[in-house]
Every structure is written in C-alpha cells, then in structure tokens.
Structure 1
Amino acid sequence: MIDLSFPTYFDDDVEGARPRTRDRAQIDARYKWDLNDIYGDWSAWEADMRTIREEMDRFVELRGQLAQGAEKVLQAYRLQDTIGMISYKLYRYPQLQYDLDQRDNEVQARLQEVQQLFAEYGSRAAWFTPELLEIEQSTMEQWLEEEAELSPYRFPILEAYRAQEHVLDEGGEKILALGSRFRSAPAEIYRSLTTADVSFNTVTLSDGDEVVVSYGEYSNLLHTRRDQDDRRKAFEAMYSIFEAKRNTFASLYNSICQRDWAQAQSRNYSSTAEAALDDDNVPVSVLETLIEAAREGAEPLRRYHRLRKEVLGLKEYHLYDGSIPLLESDEVYTYDGAREVLIESVAPLGERYQELLGEALGGGWIDVYETEGKRSGAYSAGVYGVHPYMLLNYTDTLDDVFTLTHELGHTLHTVLSCEAQPFATSSYTIFVAEVASTTNEALLLDHLLKQTEDPARRAFLLQQAISGIAGTFYSQALFADYELEAHRMAERGEPMTAERLDALYMEKMKAYYGDALTIDELYKVTWARIPHFFNSPYYVYQYATCYASSAKIVAGLLSEDQAERQATQARYLELLSSGGNDHPMNQLQKAGVDLRDADTVRAVTRRMDELVGMLEAELQRLS
C-alpha cells in the first residue's frame, strides 16, 4: 500500500467543511433551497390549483372540434402549454418539500392531491391524440405550412403521427389514463420503505466511533475509511436493510415488470424495451449493442480492480473496497471551495456558460447537505419559468465535487433549453440528458489534471476518472443488462421471486467482474437498492450511452485544433439549447455523435484501458 498525504486542494480552511448536524434548522440558508421562487406560500399554490382546473375544463371543451381547422388545433396546443407550465410549479412545490423531509405527511398529502388531479385530467383529456390522428396527415401538414403560429408544435404533432400505430382509440386511451394513478404505486411504496420508514443500522468502527449508516454516511465511509473492516461493517449495515425486506422488494419489482409488459402489449409493442425506447425513437439494438460491448470489453474494469487490490495490499478485495482512494490523503473538498474550480473547469464551453454556472451556485438553487428525513442521492429538477432545483447530500469528498458538476450539467442544460425553445419543445429526453452531466465531469477532470505534474495527485485524479467510467459506464451497463433480462422474464411469463432476482443479479456481476474481486453473497440483493429500477425503468442504460457520447464531444472541446474546438463548442451548445425539438439520436448526430456505430461505445472501453495504464505509470513513479 502506498502511504501518502497532501494538503487540502480547494480550501485551506477546513472550517468550511460540511456541518456535523443533520438538523435542518441549523443549516445556513445559503445551503438550502429557496422555494419562494416558486410560490410564496400554500395559498398561492392553492390559487394555481383553481386556475389549472379552469384551464383543464377549457381544454376538454374542445373535444370534437379539432377537425374544424388549424385554429382549433392551435388553441388546443396553447392550452396544453398553459396547463403544462402551471403543472411544473404545482407539482414541484410539494414534491421538493417532501424530498426535504419524507416524514411530512401533510406535504405528502398535498403531493398526492396534485398527482390525483393530473391523473383525472389525463383520463378527461384522453380524447385528444385519437381525435388529432383522425385528421389526415397530409391535411395536418398543410395546416402546419399555412399557419405559422403552429410551427412550435410541428415536431410533437408529427411525432403523434409517427407513433400512430401505438395510439388506441378514445376508449382505450381513457382506460389507460384511468390506470395512471396506480402505475406509480410501486415506486411510491419503494420510496416509503427506503426513506420514510427506513431504520438505519448503527456500527462501531475501529476507532470506537459509533456511526449511523445512513445513505450519505454509507458513501462517506466507503470513500474515507482506510480500515477494510470498517468498510465491511458499513456494507453489511446498509445491505442488510434490503436483504431483510427482499421478498417485499421482489413483489414490488415484479409488479413493475408486469405493469410495463401490460402497458407495452396494450400499445401493440413486442417488448417492454421496444415500448420504453420508442418514445425517443431509439432502436432496441442500441441497448443491446451497449450491453454486448460492455460485457466484451470488461477486461479493463477487471484490470483496474486487480491493480487496486495490489496497491491497497489486500489479501481479499471486495466491491466495498472499490471507492477508497488508493493514496492516503487529508483533502477536504468543501462545497464553498469547489465553486471557483468548477467555474474555471467549464471554460471550454464559453464565458456565458460560466456565468450561468456561477448563478446556479449563488444560492437558493441547491440544497447541499444531508438532513433528517431528506431524500438520498442527488438530482436536478426543472421548474419551467423559474429555475432548476438541485438536491445534494454533500460530504466533502472529491466524488461529491464530481456529483456537483454532474448535476450542474443537467441544470445548465435545462436553463439553455428553456431559454431557446418554446414550452412545447423545451423538455429534453433522458437519452441526451446525461451527455451534459458527464461532459462537465470530463472537463473537471481535465482541468484538475492540468494543475499538477505531481504523480500522487495525478494518480488520485486518474483514479477518479477511471472510477467515473466504472460507475457511469460499466455499472450502468450491468444494471441495464439485469433490467432487460428481468423484464424479459416477465414477458416470458416466468416467476419473479427474490431468489430468482438474486441469482440473476449475481450472474451479471460475475459476467462483468469475473475473478477480479470477491463477490460477497450479500451483494445479490443489490437489485433491491437501485432506485431507478423502481422509479424509472429503462433509464440506467442511458447513463452509459451518454458517457460514450460525451467522450466524443469532450475530445473535440479539448482538441489542439482551434477550429475543431470552436466547431465542437458551437455544436454542443446547440445540443444543450435544442430541448426536445428532434429525436435524440438525430440531435446527437448533429453534435457529431453516432450511437448506431458500435465503435462509439467500444471507444469507452479502450479509454478505460488507456487510463488504467496511465494510473499504473504514475504509481510506478511513486514506487
């Protein structure tokens, strides 16, 4: 094991480190959301609830009138815009507050109120798409040419015609809409089990400290505790929570897979994957190619873990050893200290991008630290007409800095899309969403590497880059591999018990990690602690495809050729400003990325191998 330490990088004043309290009242306001930007109080929220009901009634009154001409179609789409813009605020106001304290039943009730309203409206508005598609496409295209004010709706209108074979008649659409309020039930139950009703375990560490292993603390322990037994205790404390309820989680996951298969069949899709990917017009072959390339290219991942085992001097190397830095360090990456570094790191994207990033970090947009009852993880949530809100659980690690720039990528993507696009096409797809976040991460890494020739620091940063590929590409491809096969089990009518899901997940782990590490039996329940499986099926593969896309874009942004840098920057900012005005595969092609080419994906595994070689060289210099 290499024993080395070096000073704090972002901030010499460790007094800026994270608060040691989880009491929200004791956290400074500049580290918390300002939800007054949405509504000043609940009375304003209630007033908009009344307004949106009136607008919904106006929309429903248009039933049977679309065929009268372009003016009626325009009226309907404008009403949809109004309803959509208010919906963002109505939903986010209670949802964000609930995520700050998922024990708050009053806020949860208000969130359910707005969800029920949306579900009711969905069934009342089910007539719209079937009635629109009764108009001949040639007639609609003529209206689009003649009525200039319909132009913002060209893409969504033509998308409806593209997906026409999967649209049911009015009765069928109404039945599906009536069921929408129940389709989110498994995810809501899962969130309650894993957040509101969870009881975290307490462990006694090697130094005598007693620690409650919450989600944020679990990550912190794996990243900071040098004693392997401490990491083992943290792992067992966290995973035993899911192991104890694995049968309940299996029932929930089975209901999700059965729901997705029923929905796919009802809309005339041959598989759940086809149904999920068709919204973005992405062929299933893109998902299959990703999984195949990741499995075939897993040797660099194994090489990295073998190297870690050797450097850490461990007799046995486990997956819970995969986050601890290879080098000893006393670095504290404070939130305040990260600000200027992050702004400097995105210089390849231009001054305006840097200014917007600074505004996002200025206060009110980000809820930074873990507090009692707060949702785990991190996200960026858009609120049209206001600004995005970012949730963090920041613990002063380098990984947290990369999480911060990751979520800022989403935030700036939202800001630029809402600024450049009309509401109808302002929302970008998940398929391109992670390009913005992983591009920011790559630019941060490049910036930090350029600041030093010190082999210790370079090794530390190279490890971060490699861990990024391991987590964002390989792990997400493994998740996608598992998720696809689990859904195919449902499609084949096979039983989905906890034992079968455990076995399936272990098979995937062995396929990717091989004999490079010891796979503890308890890891078989990992499927139960991946929120995306329960909240948003067929989401995770897009992390990996987006990583491949961003790698191509970053290569252009950092090119030695000035003309290529400028052209890449222009194409990339156009991508961030394009919202949902085209199919995402087309948007990426305009940005210079073709995911139909398997070599685009294989380039990531080759890059992984290259970075591991660089890390080996820096460690050799240290030796």
Structure 2
Amino acid sequence: MPTLDTFRPEPGTLPTRDEVPARYKWDLTSICTSWDAWQGSYKQLDAAIAAFPAFQGTLAKGSGQLLAAFKAMDEMGALSYRVWYYASLHYDQDQRNNEINARRQQVQILFARQAQASSWFNPEVLAIPIETIRGWMDANTDLALYRFAIESLFHEQEHVLDEQGERLMSFAGRFNSVPYDSYSALTTADVKFPSITLGSGTKVTLTYGQYRAVLETNRNQEDRANAYRIFHQTFADNQNTYAALYNGVLQRDWFHARARGYTTTLDAALHGNNIPTSVVENLIAVTKQGVEPLRRYHRLRRRVLGLSSYRLFDVFVPLVEHGARYPYDEVGAWIVDSVAPLGKPYQQNVKSAFDGQWIDVFENSGKRSGAYSAPVYGAHPYMLLNYNETLDAVFTLAHEMGHSMHTLLSHQTQPFVYAGYTIFVAEVPSTLNEALFLDLMLDRARSREERIVLLQHAIDSIASTFYTQVMFADYELQAHRLVEHDQPVTADVLNAIYSSLLEAYYGDVIDREELSQFTWARIPHFFSTPYYVYQYATCFASTARLMQGIRSTDAGARQDAVNRYLNLLKAGGSDYPMNLLARAGVDLSQPETVSAVSAGLNGLVARLEAELTM
C-alpha cells in the first residue's frame, strides 16, 4: 500500500475536508469527469425517459419490440447509476452543501418522472400470456436473457396494478423518501453535536464516530456513561419528532402493501424475492430461544470488568488493556492478505480498491456518518468510511470491502438486468470478509491480551450482527403491526416496545438505563430501509455455514467451497436469493442453520473464559 502523505487525525478532532490529503478521498471522476459531464448524462437520461413511452401499446407485437423495450429500460438504469451516485456521493462528503443537495433532489425528481414514464410497462407485459412470451424467448436468444426477470414479474402478477393504478402509485414516488430525508437532515445536516469533557480533561465533540470511540476505548465508566447519556439525550429531547417521522415510514409501507393487495407489510417486503414470511418469524423465535450464550457473555464481562452496575454503555469497552491503534495505511495490506483463501484474482481486486482511490477514508466536518459501499454501475464500487483507527473501524473496512467485491464480481459477470443483488444476499460477502480477517488476526496474535481482544471482537460481532439485528427486526415487525392493526404510533408506544425487547434479549444481565428506550430513534435503517436488518442475521448464519467449507482441512472440499462462494458473488441477481444460497450450500429454511450461531457463540465465550483465567 502507498505510504506517502500519511495522515492520522488525532482522536477527538474533526478535520475539514480540505485538511484530508487527496489519496484518502475517493476520486469520483470514474463516474463523471466533471459536473458538466454529469449534466450531459442527466440530459441523456432525461431524453431516454421522454422517449420510453413510445413503446407503450407495442409490446404484444412480438419478441423484437419487447426486447427493444427491455434494452431501453437497461439504458435508463445504467445512466441512473451515474447520475444519482455522482450527486449523492458528492453530497455525502459534506451534507451542509445545499447546492449539491439541490442537484441530488433534482435527480430524485427525475427518478419520479422515470417511474411515471415506465409505469405502464409491467401491466402491459403481464397482459401478454406467459406462454406466448416463453415461446418468444425460446426462439430469440437475446430476449431469453431476460427470462428470470420476466418470470419473476409474473410471480408478482397478482400485486401489479392496472395501468391507471401503477401510474397513480408512481406519483407517490416523490413522497417515499421524505421521512428518511427529514430524518437525515435532523440527525446529520442540522444536528449540533454536543461536547463533553472527559475525566482526563480532554474535550470531545460527540459526533457519531467519536461517540463510538469513547464507548469502545475509554475505560472510565463515568466517561462512558456521560457520553452515552448526553448523546442519547438529543434523541430523547426530539422523541416526538422521531416518532412522527417513523410513523410516516410505517404508514407509507402499509399504504403500499394494501394498495398492492398484500396481507401485511412483511408479505410485501419479502414477496418479490420469493422469501416465505416464516423465515423472519422463525429467525426471531429461534434466536429468542438461544439468548443464553449472549447473557453468559455479559455476565462474564461484568465480572471481569469488576462493575457493580453494568449498562449498555459498558458492552463495548475492551476486557483487557490493549491500546493498539490501527493506522489505515497498515491495515490495507492486512486485508489484502486476509482474503488469500479466495484466490489471487480476488486479492488483486481488493488491492485495486486501495490503490485506486475507491475509498473516502476519514471523518470530516459535514460528512455523512457511518459506512457504506456504493454500487456504481459502469464505474466501480465506492466506499464511504469514517475511519478512526479502532478495531471496530478496521473490521468495518473489511466489511465494506466485502460488499464492494460482491458488486465488482457481479457487475463484471452479469448483464445490467441482473447486475444488482438483493439485500437478502448482500451481507454474506461483507460478514465473510470479516470472518477471514478475524482468522488472519488470530493467527498473527502475539499475546494473550491480543487474543482476548480478538475473541471479544468475534463475540461482539455475533452480538451486534446477529442478536442485535434480530432484536431490531423484532422491533420493526412489532412497529409495523401497530399500523396494520390501526393502533396509535406515539413516542411512548415505540419506547415501550424497545424497552420490552431489551428485557427479552438481555434479561437482568444488563441494568436498566432510562435513556436506552430511545435507542430506536438513532437507528438509520428503521427510517431508510425497513425490513433490511433481519438480513444481517440471516446472512451471518449463511456466512457461518460457508466458512465451514472455506476452513476445511481437505484441499478439494476447501476449493469447492471457494468456487461455490465466488459463483454466488458472480451470480448477482440472476435468481431468487434462497436459490442462490442453496447452490452455495446454505439452507435457511432449517432452524439448525440459525441455532448453530448461538452454539458457535457459546464455544467462543468458553474460549474467552479460558483465556481470561490463564
């Protein structure tokens, strides 16, 4: 990895974007070379949208016309990636920039027009008998490329409205993002981050990144409690506003579900990917039956930390002193090494991401919080980080790299129509990359303290990626059922649901903290992507199954597992996710796939207990 212009922001500081050297910032010219080029792509997309209605009323004429319409849809879709992400990624660099936000909103308005211009397409395709279209596909190999897309559309036939209904639904598109956009403005663009003075006398501004750093690294319980309470107080002070925004999400989802004839919002969320609702319901039920290893871990933590009270702000701090910081320039080479089991081509792709400025590394003033991988079709993936040199930040980098490699392999292998992949599969490569990185770090651990820190991280990953996400899914399901049963949605009601879930999952091992009931208000996924979080848990279970093969001591079995895994990444969205996972060797319909996670956690806790008693 390059080492020139090394930049390491001090903990507790927030640099301006100009203070961050260029090589730690993404280079968006692979999307568009300039705003003028972006404007040209925008006009090209606008023209394609305007031209698309010319296909209306012609699809039944034959395979050639249907194929031409599909290709036109692909052209609009490919342009949409460039037009959206160039504006969106620029905005996320500094969400205070109203000029770029206006361009981003301009694209959203164009997308609403695109939805309106194409709202007739699905009803018109569905008006053609499926056997007729199958005959066309059998005779036309170019049209046969769209077989899964067409078959899956007919799978949803009963929930596709007539032309007038679809047009009406398209008008609602402009409102769909309002709750989350409002939430994002409230929590990022307009937020005034509070500051605290630590016991050491250091003053820290509690941005999202610095708040996490205090909880993960500060061994003074009073400092952690102070940071937690002040940070969450901002959500408590605005709880009614957050409740109103979340009610907007719930009501929107229920409107869409009822308008399309679904029984519940969960049905609506899962039907398109052909996932039975029992997968989510059983995930929640089986996980609740397997919470004892999680509680065992927290009882161990309380004892080792010597705390008379143990609250949610105590669950991240390391069990032993191991004050390592992980400079970004060193970690990149480790991540490249960690993916060696997946083969040299995969490793080279990872190295390209580091060398090619695909990553926006450090937190800066105005930058969006969190981390993500943006799947920019026609360019390459981009990663946003808020890297702070903690162990959690290191694994977040490995996680987002997994997403990016999934995108890269899918885009390289699949035609545009299948280049995207479903959320249900998306978190498998991210969590698998983390598992590979953990293996490498444990192999290289040079001390008992380092092994303890890494074991804690592995356990914390299960707690956060599996148990916490199932708890969040439980929360979402209960909240959506409020509106489905015509129940009021208030801050008090939402707080009560969250409090009851903390009790159900943690029991009495974590002492009650009044402000914890407001935690739901700071979970962006609730507002941006409902019914997303359960898939972290199903993907974690899938990863556990895949890693059994990749870690096999039998060379043939190991290579077979790697091949099946890489084929999963290359498959993109070319089949239903349960089918793709089944080909990779994962069956999520079996409770044992889920319960195996709690069994694995129990083994890790036992190993940690042994290390701590040495």
TM-score where L is the length of structure 1:
0.97
Q: What displacement does 1:451 show? A: 1.8
Structure 2 match to 1:3:
none
Determine the C-alpha separation between the residues in 1 that align with 2:130 and 2:272.
19
| 2:8 matches 1:17 | yes
SS in 2 for 1:368: strand
Stretches of structure 1 lacking an aligned partner (at least 5 in a row): 1-9
Q: What displacement does 1:52 show? A: 1.2
Contact 1:410-1:437 at 8 Å conserved across structures:
yes
CA deviation digits over 1:415-468, x for unaligned, max 9? Answer: 000000000101010000000000001111111111236322211110010000
Contact 1:32-1:363 at 8 Å conserved across structures:
no
Structure 1 match to 2:115:
122
| 2:217 matches 1:239 | no
Of stretches 54-63 and 110-119 in structure 1, the one that deviates more from structure 2 is: 54-63
**Residue type of the partner of 1:576?**
L
| 2:162 matches 1:169 | yes
Do the aligned partners of residues 247 and 142 (structure 1) sit closer, same or farther apart at CA in structure 2, a change above 3 Å counting?
same
| 2:604 matches 1:611 | yes
Of stretches 480-489 and 12-21 in structure 1, the one that deviates more from structure 2 is: 12-21
Structure 2 match to 1:5:
none
Of residues 400, 406, 409, the one that matches 2:402 is 409
Do the aligned partners of residues 329 and 454 (structure 1) sit closer, same or farther apart at CA in structure 2, a change above 3 Å counting?
closer
Do the aligned partners of residues 234 and 11 (structure 1) sit closer, same or farther apart at CA in structure 2, a change above 3 Å counting?
farther
| 2:594 matches 1:601 | yes
CA deviation digits over 1:184-210, x for unaligned, max 9? Answer: 100100000000000111111101111
Determine the C-alpha separation between the residues in 1 that align with 2:339 and 2:48.
42
Structure 2 match to 1:526:
519
CA deviation digits over 1:113-152, x for unaligned, max 9? Answer: 1110110121121110000001000001111110011122
Structure 2 match to 1:194:
187
Determine the C-alpha separation between the residues in 1 that align with 2:602 and 2:271.
33
Q: What displacement does 1:16 show? A: 5.6
Structure 2 match to 1:443:
436
Determine the C-alpha separation between the residues in 2 that align with 1:126 and 1:569.
41
Determine the C-alpha separation between the residues in 2 that align with 1:174 and 1:97.
32
Determine the C-alpha separation between the residues in 2 that align with 1:223 and 1:23.
24
SS in 2 for 1:596: coil
Do the aligned partners of residues 612 and 16 (structure 1) sit closer, same or farther apart at CA in structure 2, a change above 3 Å counting?
farther
Of residues 299, 302, 306, the one that matches 1:306 is 299
Of stretches 46-55 and 270-279 in structure 1, the one that deviates more from structure 2 is: 46-55
- RMSD over aligned CA atoms reads 1.5
| 2:25 matches 1:32 | yes
Stretches of structure 2 lacking an aligned partner (at least 5 in a row): none
CA deviation digits over 1:91-124, x for unaligned, max 9? Answer: 0011001111111110010011111011012112
Of residues 461, 464, 477, the one that matches 1:468 is 461
Structure 1 match to 2:452:
459
Q: What displacement does 1:620 show? A: 1.0
SS in 2 for 1:559: coil
Determine the C-alpha separation between the residues in 2 that align with 1:281 and 1:238.
40
TM-score where L is the length of structure 2:
0.98
| 2:41 matches 1:48 | yes
SS in 2 for 1:61: helix
Contact 1:449-1:461 at 8 Å conserved across structures:
yes
Of residues 475, 478, 484, the one that matches 1:485 is 478
Of residues 546, 570, 576, the one that matches 1:583 is 576
| 2:545 matches 1:552 | yes
Contact 2:50-2:117 at 8 Å conserved across structures:
no
Determine the C-alpha separation between the residues in 1 that align with 2:163 and 2:248.
26
Determine the C-alpha separation between the residues in 1 that align with 2:412 and 2:114.
28
CA deviation digits over 1:195-228, x for unaligned, max 9? Answer: 0000111111101111111101001111111100
Structure 2 match to 1:65:
58
Contact 2:5-2:21 at 8 Å conserved across structures:
no
Do the aligned partners of residues 475 and 449 (structure 1) sit closer, same or farther apart at CA in structure 2, a change above 3 Å counting?
same
SS in 1 for 2:511: coil
SS in 2 for 1:211: strand
Determine the C-alpha separation between the residues in 1 that align with 2:149 and 2:24.
38
Structure 1 match to 2:324:
331
SS in 1 for 2:355: coil
| 2:203 matches 1:203 | no
Q: Number of aligned pairs?
A: 612
Do the aligned partners of residues 50 and 452 (structure 1) sit closer, same or farther apart at CA in structure 2, a change above 3 Å counting?
closer
Do the aligned partners of residues 15 and 384 (structure 1) sit closer, same or farther apart at CA in structure 2, a change above 3 Å counting?
closer
Do the aligned partners of residues 300 and 85 (structure 1) sit closer, same or farther apart at CA in structure 2, a change above 3 Å counting?
same
Do the aligned partners of residues 605 and 12 (structure 1) sit closer, same or farther apart at CA in structure 2, a change above 3 Å counting?
farther
Structure 2 match to 1:223:
216
Structure 1 match to 2:368:
375
SS in 1 for 2:588: coil
Structure 2 match to 1:352:
345
**Residue type of the partner of 2:126?**
L
Structure 2 match to 1:83:
76
Q: What displacement does 1:46 show? A: 1.1
Contact 1:290-1:477 at 8 Å conserved across structures:
yes
Determine the C-alpha separation between the residues in 2 that align with 1:510 and 1:287.
20
SS in 2 for 1:72: helix
| 2:563 matches 1:570 | yes
SS in 2 for 1:59: helix
Contact 1:11-1:337 at 8 Å conserved across structures:
no
Determine the C-alpha separation between the residues in 1 that align with 2:26 and 2:448.
39
Do the aligned partners of residues 318 and 34 (structure 1) sit closer, same or farther apart at CA in structure 2, a change above 3 Å counting?
same
Do the aligned partners of residues 14 and 454 (structure 1) sit closer, same or farther apart at CA in structure 2, a change above 3 Å counting?
farther
Q: What displacement does 1:15 show? A: 7.2
Determine the C-alpha separation between the residues in 2 that align with 1:256 and 1:341.
41
| 2:260 matches 1:267 | yes
**Residue type of the partner of 2:499?**
M
Determine the C-alpha separation between the residues in 2 that align with 1:384 and 1:304.
43
Q: What displacement does 1:12 show? A: 13
Contact 2:94-2:368 at 8 Å conserved across structures:
yes
Q: What displacement does 1:58 show? A: 2.3
Structure 2 match to 1:4:
none
Determine the C-alpha separation between the residues in 1 that align with 2:386 and 2:567.
31
**Equivalent residues in 2 for 1:378-389 (5 A)?**
378-389=371-382
Determine the C-alpha separation between the residues in 1 that align with 2:282 and 2:205.
41
Structure 1 match to 2:151:
158
